[in-house]
Amino acid sequence: MTHSIYDVGRRPAKSWTGLLSATMLAVVCLWLSPQAAQSADKEKQQVSRVIAKEMTAAQKALQASQWAEAIKNLDAAETKSPLTAFDKKTIYDFRGFAYVKLNNFKEAEKAYETALATGQYSPEDAARTTKILFRISAQNQQYAKAAEYGKQMSDSGAASSEDLGIMAQLYYLQKDCKNAAVWADKAIAAARKAGEAPKENLYQFKLQCASDAGDNASMAATLVDLIRLTNKTNYWNTLLRIERQEERDDHNTLMIYRVMYDTNAMTVGTDYIEMAQLLGDAALPAEAQAVLEKALGGPGLIKDEQKERTNRLLNALKTRADADKKGLTQLDAEATKNPAGELDVKLGEVYYGGGDYQNAITAITRGLQKGQIKHQDEAYVYLGRAQVALKNTADAKRAFGGLKTVPNISPRVLKLWELYSDTLGKS
């Protein structure tokens, strides 16, 4: 699979190195230990007398963690004749355990497959061995074989959400995005049913598959899920770039830039410059000034060849912002007397740009009460942003919730601000 221009910067792991990590290996050993430690005596008693001596020696070696010595005794037992099917199952089951302890997963896989093929396991132990083989064959990069074991576990209801997640990765590694998505959804549903947070990589499989296919709609939907799960800026950045690319209206584009700016997802200098220009066109020079100053203060955001032009723009914005500041008292008086709320909202936006968030809230709230506002969506957005700046999370959420009442609001803009509101208060 190849990178797309919307690569999230953290692709799902393509190697199974470490899949059977120390934690996973510990889990496998826990599955194995009860039989090796608690049932070994019973197993030994049921094997034929032909291999009793060798199996006793193998059991002692296992209990003493002498794995190579155990395998030596198991090899000796296998040379005896005649061997019953139960004898063979026990020899290879013990052999599989010893090889896992030696981190020799290829031989462990062969041993457990041979033991399972004898048909001598109880249903419970057969299910346990199938789960072990699922994990070990995945570790050995036997993806198709591992998937078959996984299907058996899923069909029997024995697969955990973690197992279902491994199935998603198995199909992803085989470049089967359709089945990767199917199993990722199963793993997500199982995690939620168990009251657990779904794993981030499950959504990453879906995201990268959609990216490789150039499916922006599926990418956007998955990014929304990832943002709700993690609230990471790189996911915000990717989502907002998709949405901005598909937006043609300057008013809505500026709304997208505001989300990008407020989520710290703006990472390219040209985005800061364009946002500042749009803010200047919207008669909000103080806010535009703050945006450019942040860009110029960020390392490497504004390229050397852009600095002269950016500084000229910044100086022009400063002049306009100073004029607005001087005229605030007059604008406040005019807005207060005006029966319509348009001037109040504009006043609140100017206050916001200057960092006076409490007065911004007062003015915009007054304007919303009066009504007759040209861009109600901006009124609610600036009211919410001012509340966020004052760390009034509940009030901010209520302000953003007002966007649902705005006639003819862009569905894209509404979706993004609702998502932003939902993530407020999350790390």
- For 8, the 3-state DSSP assignment is coil
Residue 403: which CATH number?
1.25.40.10
In angstroms, rounded to a whole number, what is the distance separating the alpha carbons of residues 259 and 243?
Answer: 11
State how many domains the chain has: 3
Domain contains 124:
yes
Mean pLDDT of the chain: 89
Beta carbons of 315 and 348 less than 8 angstroms apart: no
Indicate whether 242 and 273 sit together in one domain: yes
In angstroms, rounded to a whole number, what is the distance separating the alpha carbons of residues 110 and 96?
Answer: 8
**pTM for the whole thing?**
0.81
Residue 412, Cβ density class (10 Å: 0-12 exposed, 13-18 middle, ≥19 buried):
middle
Query: Which pLDDT does position 22 carry in this prediction?
Result: 43
Q: How confident is the model at residue 18 (pLDDT cuts 50, 70, 90)?
A: very low
CA distances from 241 to 3, 19, 197, 259 (A): 16, 33, 27, 11
Query: Which pLDDT does position 17 carry in this prediction?
Result: 39
Domain contains 146:
no
Domain contains 369:
yes
Q: How confident is the model at residue 24 (pLDDT cuts 50, 70, 90)?
A: very low
* pLDDT tops 70 at residue 15: no
For the stretch 74-103, pLDDT in tens is 999 999 999 999 999 999 999 999 999 999
Indicate whether 345 and 317 sit together in one domain: no
Domain contains 218:
no
For the stretch 239-257, pLDDT in tens is 999 999 988 899 999 999 9
* pLDDT tops 60 at residue 191: yes
Domain C-terminal end among 140, 159, 194: 140
For the stretch 135-170, pLDDT in tens is 999 999 999 999 999 999 999 999 999 999 999 999
* pLDDT tops 50 at residue 9: no
Domain contains 12:
no
Q: How confident is the model at residue 179 (pLDDT cuts 50, 70, 90)?
A: very high
* pLDDT tops 90 at residue 30: no
Indicate whether 287 and 402 sit together in one domain: no
Domain contains 202:
no
Residue 271: which CATH number?
1.25.40
Q: How confident is the model at residue 47 (pLDDT cuts 50, 70, 90)?
A: confident
Indicate whether 239 and 319 sit together in one domain: yes
Indicate whether 95 and 61 sit together in one domain: yes
Domain C-terminal end among 299, 325, 351: 325
- Reduced 3-state DSSP string for 201-212: HHHHHHHHHHHH
Indicate whether 24 and 109 sit together in one domain: yes
Rg of the chain over Cα atoms, rounded to whole angstroms, equals: 32
* pLDDT tops 90 at residue 392: yes
Query: Which pLDDT does position 41 carry in this prediction?
Result: 53
Query: Which pLDDT does position 246 carry in this prediction?
Result: 85
Q: How confident is the model at residue 294 (pLDDT cuts 50, 70, 90)?
A: very high
Q: How confident is the model at residue 299 (pLDDT cuts 50, 70, 90)?
A: confident
Query: Which pLDDT does position 123 carry in this prediction?
Result: 93
In angstroms, rounded to a whole number, what is the distance separating the alpha carbons of residues 254 and 250?
Answer: 6
Indicate whether 102 and 37 sit together in one domain: yes
Domain that residue 265 falls in: 228-325
For the stretch 218-229, pLDDT in tens is 999 999 999 999
Domain contains 4:
no
* pLDDT tops 90 at residue 298: no
Indicate whether 373 and 285 sit together in one domain: no
Domain contains 157:
no
Indicate whether 315 and 287 sit together in one domain: yes
Query: Which pLDDT does position 32 carry in this prediction?
Result: 53
Indicate whether 395 and 292 sit together in one domain: no
Residue 61: how many CA atoms within 13 Å on its side-chain side?
20
Indicate whether 374 and 320 sit together in one domain: no
Domain C-terminal end among 120, 140, 160: 140
Cα dihedral: 259, 260, 264, 268 (round 10)? -160
Indicate whether 232 and 299 sit together in one domain: yes
- Write the CB contacts of 391 (distance below 8 Å, at least 6 apart in sequence): none
